[in-house]
Amino acid sequence: MYSRRDLLKGVLVGVGAPLLNAYAFTRSSDLAPGVHTASFRDLQLAPGSDPIDGLIEALVACGVQYCELYAPHVEARFMASHRHHTMSSMARQMVRREQRKWRLRTPAAYFRAIGRKFEKHGIAIAAFNVSPDASFTDEEIDAAFSTAKALGAETITASTTLDVAARMAPIAERHRTIVALHGGSRIDDADAIGSPESFAAALRMSRYFKVSLDVGNFTAANLDSLDYLRAHHRDVANLRLKDRRKNQGEDLPWGAGDTPIRDVLKLVKDEMWRIRGYVDCEYGGAANSIDEVKKCLAYAAETAL
């Protein structure tokens, strides 16, 4: 990642660190948060409608210019009704096999068309959120990178384990694509990613690995997002923004938990770090998800006042 001071000096952050694509931070408004599309958990779609159209409408309603696109929003669903497939009666193993075949066989043109839809509405798919687990084959992981490129994403974000990250590393190198590893709040498992130590272990695997710092999960794990950012901001590709209480507390409306969201955003702004932020609205809320996302964006906007 770059600070403005580094850019003025023409200094690359990190020896041999790969450049993000040309879209990254071309406007001052890029410092405003985008939205993780899983935040729209209750979108109601008309029968036979394209779910992508509904998702884009939600993003447009929220007035954002970029998003972190959740992989299930663009993949066929094999356990529920979907405009492409309905396979709810399949056994779990068969469903997983069909899902893998779909990922390996779906042409890049399918995803390029989705990317053009977003672009037409002035929304960049800045990150593609796909989270390989141990069931993914190497070919399936490779396909995720190809999908991200076809969508036009500049980074992949992934919630995964150190074991799977080690398998992702050579694939990231081959595709020359940044992977921002998302941290969970349960950090007592030796294979989990989420603590400063586990992030450091993952970053040693590849120069293309960065951190997707979930400030809510960091707080729930009784860790300090501000301290981590001050020490490791050059390793952080993006922020997941949510509010949780300490001690594995629940997700809450912004301002009701212990997460220093405004302090984090102010620090990034004051230091002029080029770190994207994404609203990750996971709490229930009384309103529909679009209205709740708007509340989160308004809360973040007050940091700029």
Locus of tokens 């272990």 = 201
Of the candidates 48, 32, 4, 237, which has an alpha carbon nearest to the alpha carbon of residue 128? 237
Q: Name the 3-class secondary structure at 66.
A: strand
Q: What is the pLDDT along the chain (305 residues), one digit of tens a residue?
A: 333 333 223 222 232 334 333 334 434 344 689 999 999 988 766 566 678 999 999 999 999 999 999 999 999 875 444 444 444 545 778 888 999 999 999 999 999 999 999 999 999 999 999 999 999 999 999 999 999 999 999 999 999 999 999 999 999 999 999 999 999 999 989 999 999 999 999 999 999 999 999 999 999 999 999 999 999 999 999 999 999 999 999 999 999 999 999 999 999 999 999 999 999 999 977 678 999 999 999 999 987 65
Radius of gyration of the chain (CA): 19
> What's 20-75+108-304's CATH class?
alpha beta
Q: Which residues of 76-87 are buried (b: 16+ CB within 10 A; e: fewer)?
A: bbbeeeeeebeb
Q: Measure CA of the first residue to CA of the last residue in the chain; give whole Å.
A: 25
Q: Which tokens is 217 given?
A: 């999960």
Alpha carbon distance 126, 255 (integer Å): 26
The pTM score is 0.86
Q: Which tokens is 305 given?
A: 């006042």
Locus of tokens 């020896």 = 15
